[in-house]
Amino acid sequence: MTSFPFALYDAFSARAFGGSQAAVIIDAAPIDRTRRHAIAREIGMPATAFVEEIGADWIVAQFMSTVMELPMCGHGTICLFTHLLESGLVSLDETDSCSFELRLPKSSARVELSRRGDNRIQVMLDIRAPTFETAPPHTEALLTLLGLDSGALDTTLPLETARGDFIHLVVPIAGLAAMRAIKPDFDGMVEFCNAHGIETIAAFCREVENPENTIHVRDFCPAVGVSESAAAGTTNAALTSYLLRHAMLPAGKSVVSLNAEQGLELGRPSSIRSIVTPGDGGIARLQVGGVATRVFDGQVYL
């Protein structure tokens, strides 16, 4: 019997039992794809990160959900790098920061680590800026899936599809009351998403519970293995891009940052930070991140 080090973290949360969960398995190169799928299903978390190799300034890894390989995973990345740092497998430099290239099977991305004033490690992931297109005319079906009526939509903003590492249907909601009233039909969402080439339904509103935040988010992802995500980095990066696209962020700044709140309806409050650098009428750089908190660790036995 062979064992592999294992840890479970809560991402986008400075305390245990908040945010979105991801498992991290170190020294995973000998584990083949079939067993990785089986391990991810057995663990049952929204994401499991398999770390294959660690270099001086690069990491080779793969993310799995319970149903598929994930091309990128914001919350999994935060958990992965927090674990590597806490385990002494990587370290910060004399400026209390460092950066790595995250190498995944189908893409790569830059990841920056830094120590915050409260001594927590902030992990920021570079995300490929999404492209947008008008959402197909399926508003009535969508409202039925969310258990809402037409008055729940924020009609000052359009429904759009954001295509990046994932494909998100961006749904602007009128306010917190409507967000709390959502009664999702998850089985129907899977059929809807598969029929329309969508992976998550990203509902948001500009009314927030915490005045330090900019948006309130609910992200429904049953088509990729998570009924509702308590915190989703790639989704929030897409929403930040959407807000910039529709002039809903401060203009005239070289760098714009915002905080999103998510997971409150699930009892798993999350704080997701996005940083966007506008450029040439679009986005020059897009980052998303936060902190992660260790909850369990041990061994996976095969």
One DSSP character per residue, 118-145 reads TSPEEEEEE-PPPEEEEPPS-HHHHHHH
- Whether 136 shows a pLDDT value over 90: the answer reads no
Residue written as token pair 């329309």: 196
Q: Are residues 20 and 119 in the same domain?
A: yes
Across the chain, where does the E strand assignment appear? Answer: 3-11, 20-25, 47-54, 58-64, 69-70, 97-103, 108-115, 121-126, 131-134, 160-163, 167-172, 200-205, 215-221, 226-229, 256-262, 270-279, 282-290, 292-301
- Whether 137 shows a pLDDT value over 80: the answer reads no
- Whether 281 shows a pLDDT value over 80: the answer reads no
Residue written as token pair 């398995």: 25
For residue range 167-223, list pLDDT tens digits in order: 999 999 999 999 999 999 999 999 999 999 999 999 999 999 999 999 999 999 999
Q: Are residues 136 and 240 in the same domain?
A: yes
Residue written as token pair 């940052």: 257
Q: Tell me how crowded residue 258 is: count the other CB atoms within 10 A of its CB.
A: 20
Nearest-angstrom CA–CA distance, 288 and 125: 5
Nearest-angstrom CA–CA distance, 206 and 57: 38
Average model confidence (pLDDT) across the chain: 95
Dihedral sign, CA of 103, 104, 110, 113?
A: negative
What H or E segment, with its residue span, contains residue 176?
helix 176-181
Q: Tell me how crowded residue 2 is: count the other CB atoms within 10 A of its CB.
A: 10
The boundaries of the domain holding residue 121 are 3-127+291-301
- Whether 7 shows a pLDDT value over 80: the answer reads yes
Dihedral sign, CA of 228, 297, 120, 255?
A: negative
Q: Are residues 209 and 226 in the same domain?
A: yes
Burial pattern 162-181, b for ≥16 Cβ within 10 A else e, equals: bbbbbbbbbbbbbeeebbee
Residue 201's domain is classified under what CATH number? 3.10.310.10
Nearest-angstrom CA–CA distance, 272 and 228: 16
Nearest-angstrom CA–CA distance, 271 and 278: 23
SS3 211: coil
Share of the chain above pLDDT 70, in %: 100
For residue range 250-264, list pLDDT tens digits in order: 877 889 999 999 999
Q: Are residues 152 and 28 in the same domain?
A: no
Residue 127: its pLDDT value, please? 95
Measured between its terminal Cα atoms, the distance across the chain in Å is 6
Q: Are residues 149 and 280 in the same domain?
A: yes
Residue 251: its pLDDT value, please? 76
Q: Are residues 100 and 221 in the same domain?
A: no
Q: How many domains does the chain have?
A: 2
Q: Are residues 94 and 185 in the same domain?
A: no
pTM of the model: 0.93
Nearest-angstrom CA–CA distance, 299 and 8: 11
Q: Are residues 272 and 142 in the same domain?
A: yes
- Whether 284 shows a pLDDT value over 80: the answer reads yes
Q: Are residues 156 and 280 in the same domain?
A: yes
Nearest-angstrom CA–CA distance, 256 and 302: 46
Average pLDDT on 132-145 reads 90
Q: Are residues 142 and 234 in the same domain?
A: yes
* Tokens of residue 255, six digits: 């760098």
Q: Are residues 73 and 145 in the same domain?
A: no
Q: Are residues 284 and 296 in the same domain?
A: no
Residue 180: its pLDDT value, please? 97
